[in-house]
Amino acid sequence: MAEAKTHELVVSVSPHIRGKETVGRIMWTVNLSLLPAFIMSVYYFGPRAVYVTGLCIVASVLFEHAFQVSLKKKTTIGDGSAFLTGLLLGLNLPASSPFFIPIIGSFIAIVITKLLFGGLGYNIFNPALIGRAFLLISFPKLLTTWTEPTAKFIDMDAKTTATPLGILKEEGLVRLMEVFGSKTELYKSLFMGSTAGSLGETSAIALLIGAALLLARGYITWHIPVSYVATVGALAWVFGGEGLFTGDPLIHILSGSLILGAFFMATDYVSGPTVRKGQLIYGIGCGAITMLIRLKGGFPEGVMFAILLMNCFAPLIDRAVKPDLFGAVKEQKK
């Protein structure tokens, strides 16, 4: 007995074993899942993709570190979430963004949207999207100057052009067909990513490869992306054409930042609802607002505002929609 007493025993609350999942592992995996999209952005937009995205990442990480160190808090840059915010912000910017755009955007995203609200877990809005929304409103010209996706590794001055959604909005479907030659060519370009647009949004295939990784790991579920994309597709089909039920859903699904938004930004844990059934409502809401803006609003693209607006509803959805309680059905029957 005396021998046993020499041991110092630790008392803590159950459970006494834990799974291996950590916030860091999740965040770094999401970063990794965006690698294909980043590679495609470099392929199409050249060194400027590295420059803009890299600047966003460095600025985001530094802002977070500096803020926390200056407030004598523990730095959390190791968890990969500041890196992710920077990466997402970068992939949502045009290739031609001058240096101050990533820096201001990162400041708004990290310091204002995330840290001032209490840091990871407490932010109401998706930090990268608030950063981008701030930039779009403050520097509308710079944020809508699109370069052609023809990587020029030496010549930094690429020709400016319009995004497919921009053409669709300003000049119509006929003009869009003229630009790309045929519908098949248009789909192909949208799928591969050889269109103008934000750095990481153009290549649907690259984004879907990354999304597949997240789905396989269980880090995201189908609920938000599928309900979001399906709503956009359905509304595009019904209202997107000359008459009702004549629209082309595929153009709307593949263009703009819908794939990036539906799989990587609307699925942001902190700013979205947690209950799966509620996530369906959230996804449908995102889709409806996106199409409202695309078809009736002043901007050609509505993904960013749609997700931010639905962020506001996330807490309400979590209150209204609860998981199916075990034994609840029978209780009502009594």
Partner 1 sequence: MAKMATFDRGIHPEYNKELASGKTITDAKLPQRVVVPVSQHIGAPAQPEVSIGDEVKRGQVIGSTSGFVSSPVHSSLSGKVITIADFPSTAGKMVQSIVIESDGKDEAVTFNEHPDYMNLGPDEIKNMIKEAGIVGMGGAAFPTNVKLSPPKEKKIDAVIINGAECEPYLTADHRLMVEHPKEVVEGLKIIMKSLGVHEGHIGIEVNKPDAIEAMSDVVSGEENITVWPLEIKYPQGAEKMLIRAVKGREVPSKGLPMDVGVVVQNVGTALAVYDAVRHGKPLIERVVTITGNGIREPANMNIRIGTLMSEVVEQCGGLVEGAVKVIAGGPMMGFAQWTLDVPVVKGTSGILVMTESEYVTSDDYTACIRCGSCIDVCPMGLNPSMLSILSEKEFFEEAKDYNLFDCFECGSCAFVCPSKRPMVQFIRLAKSQVKP
In sequence order, what are the residues at sequence separation of 6 or more whose Cβ sits closer than 8 angstroms to the Cβ of residue 154? none
How big is the chain, counted in residues?
334
Stretch that binds partner 1, among 83-91, 172-180, 225-233, 320-328 (CB under 8 A): 320-328
User: Quick one: which H or E segment has residue 177?
Assistant: helix 173-180
15 binds partner 1, rule: CB under 8 A: yes
Query: Considering the rule CB under 8 A, would residue 80 count as an interface residue with partner 1?
Result: no
Question: Shortest distance, CB of residue 37 to partner 1, whole angstroms?
Answer: 22
Structure tokens at 31: 């970063």
* CA pair distance 329, 334, nearest whole angstrom: 9
Please tell me the distance from the alpha carbon of residue 104 to that of residue 63, in angstroms, as a whole number: 11
Give the whole-angstrom CA distance, residue 118 versus residue 329: 39
- Is residue 235 within 8 Å of residue 294, measured between CB atoms? no
Decide if residue 17 touches partner 1 (CB under 8 A).
Answer: yes
Site for partner 1 in 171-230 (CB under 8 A): 219, 221
Three-state secondary structure call for residue 246: coil
Nearest CB to partner 1, comparing residues 118 and 241: 118
Stretch that binds partner 1, among 8-16, 138-146, 245-253, 300-308 (CB under 8 A): 8-16
Distance (Å, rounded) from C-alpha 314 to C-alpha 275? 10
Q: Indicate which single residue of 244, 316, 320, 328 sits in contact with partner 1 (rule: CB under 8 A).
A: 328
Residue 232: count other Cβ atoms within 10 Å of its Cβ: 29
DSSP-derived pairing of the beta strands 160-161 and 146-147: antiparallel
Distance CA 317, CA 84 (A): 25
Q: How far is the CB of 115 from partner 1 (least distance, A)?
A: 12
Q: Which of 95, 275, 304, 310 touches partner 1 (CB under 8 A)?
A: 275
Q: Which is nearer to partner 1, 9 or 174 (CB)?
A: 9
Whole-number Å distance between alpha carbons of 83 and 89: 10
In this complex, which beta carbon is closest to partner 1, that of residue 114 or of residue 132?
A: 114
- State in angstroms the smallest separation of the CB of 168 from partner 1: 35
Question: Residue 126 or residue 194: which is nearer to partner 1 going by CB?
Answer: 126
DSSP state of 265: I
Cβ of residue 76: shortest distance to partner 1, in angstroms?
8
Rg, the chain, Cα only: 22
Which C-beta is closer to partner 1: that of 187 or that of 269? 269
According to the binding rule CB under 8 A, does residue 5 interact with partner 1?
Answer: yes
Least Cβ distance, residue 231 to partner 1 (angstroms): 21
Which regions of the chain does DSSP assign to beta strands (E)?
146-147, 160-161
- Residue 280 corresponds to which tokens in the numbers above? 């369906």
Q: Should residue 284 be labelled a site residue for partner 1 when binding is judged by CB under 8 A?
A: no
Provide, rounded to whole angstroms, the least separation between the CB of residue 220 and partner 1.
Answer: 9
Token code pair at residue 283: 């996804």
Helix axes 23-33, 81-91, angle to 10 degrees: 20
For 70, 105, 186, 197, 218, the CA distances from 74, given in Å and listed in that order, are: 10, 23, 49, 37, 29
User: Is position 23 an interface residue for partner 1 (rule: CB under 8 A)?
Assistant: yes
**71 lines the binding site for partner 1 (CB under 8 A):** no
- Nearer to partner 1 (CB atom), residue 140 or residue 323: 323
When binding is defined by CB under 8 A, the residue of 86, 119, 131, 300 that contacts partner 1 is 119
Q: Is position 1 an interface residue for partner 1 (rule: CB under 8 A)? A: yes
Instruction: Kindly state whether residue 3 participates in binding partner 1, applying the rule CB under 8 A.
Output: yes
Residues lying near partner 1 in the complex (CB under 8 A): 1, 3-5, 7-19, 21-23, 25-26, 76, 118-122, 219, 221, 269-270, 272, 274-276, 318, 322-331, 334
